[in-house]
Amino acid sequence: MTARKKVIDLLASAPGQEVLAKGWVRTKRGNKEIAFIALNDGSTIHNIQVVVDKTAIDPALLAKITTGACIAVHGDLVESPGSGQAVEIKASEIEVYGECDPVRYPLQKKDTSFEYLRTVAHLRPRTNTFGAVLRLRSQMAFAIHEYFHSKGFVYLNTPLITAADAEGAGNMFQVATLDMNNIPRDKKGLPDYSKDFFGRRTSLTVSGQLEGELGATALGEIYTFGPTFRAENSNTPRHLAEFWMIEPEMAFYDIRDNMDLAEDFIKSLVKYALDNCLDDVKFLNDRYDPELLARLQGVVDTEFVRLGYTEGIEILKAAEADGHKFEESVSWGMDLQSEHERFLVEQHFNKPVILTDYPKDIKAFYMKQNDDGKTVRAMDVLFPKIGEIIGGSEREASYEKLQARIDELHMSHRTLEWYLDTRRFGTCPHSGFGLGFERLLLFITGMQNIRDVIPFPRTPKNAEF
Ligand code: 4AD
Ligand code: MG
Which ligand sits nearest to residue 168's alpha carbon? 1
Cα–Cα separations (whole angstroms), residue 351 to 371, 378, 384, 459, 463? 30, 20, 7, 30, 36
Q: What is the pLDDT of residue 84?
A: 82
Distance 244 CA to ligand 1 centre (A): 9
Q: What is the pLDDT of residue 237?
A: 95
Ligand 1 centre to CA of 207 (Å) is 8
Site to probe by mutation for ligand 1, drawn from 214, 240, 245 as the one with most ligand atoms within 8 Å of Cβ, is 245
Any ligand 1 atom below 6 A from CB of 366: no
Cα maximum dimension of the chain: 85
Q: What is the pLDDT of residue 413?
A: 86
Q: Is 229 in the pocket of ligand 1 (CB under 6 A)?
A: no
> Does residue 390 line the site of ligand 1, with CB under 6 A?
yes
Compute the distance from residue 244 Cα to the ligand 2 centre, in Å.
14
Quick one: which atom of ligand 1 is closest to the CA of 230? Answer: 28
Say what the pLDDT of residue 327 is. Answer: 96
Would you say the CB of residue 439 lies under 6 angstroms from ligand 1?
Answer: yes
Report the pLDDT value the prediction gives residue 1, as an integer from 0 to 100: 74
Q: Which ligand has its closest atom nearest to the C-alpha of 395?
A: 1
pLDDT of residue 321: 96
Mutate to test the pocket of ligand 1, among 243, 376, 452 (most ligand atoms within 8 A of CB): 243
pLDDT at 23: 98
Q: Rounded distance, CA 395 to CA 432, Å?
A: 8
Contacts made by residues 34-42, CB under 8 angstroms, sequence distance 24+: 35/62, 35/65, 37/65, 37/71, 37/73, 37/91, 39/7, 39/71, 39/73, 39/89, 40/7, 40/128, 40/131, 41/6, 41/7, 42/125, 42/131, 42/135
Cβ of 447 closer than 6 Å to ligand 1, yes or no, is: no
Ligand 1: does its nearest atom lie under 6 Å from the Cβ of 387? no
pLDDT score at 109: 83
Residue 89 has φ and ψ, to the nearest 5°, of -105, 125
Tell me if the pTM is above 0.95: yes
Q: How many other CB atoms are found less than 10 A from the CB of residue 69?
A: 20
Residues 6+ apart with CB under 8 A from 216: 222, 249, 250, 251, 430, 432
Please indicate whether residue 247, judged by its CB atom, sits closer than 6 Å to ligand 1.
Answer: yes
Q: What is the pLDDT of residue 290?
A: 97
- Protein residue closest via CA to atom 25 of ligand 1: 239
Cβ of 434 below 6 Å from ligand 1: yes
Number of alpha carbons in the 13 Å side-chain half-sphere of residue 364: 22
pLDDT attached to residue 169 = 82
Of 31, 87, 24, the C-alpha closest to 54 is: 31
Which ligand sits closest to the CA of 358? 2
Question: Cα(25)–Cα(89) distance, rounded to whole angstroms?
Answer: 14
Point out the residues of the chain with pLDDT beneath 70: none
Ligand whose nearest atom lies closest to the CA of 262? 1
Nearest residue (by CA) to ligand 1, atom 9, is 434
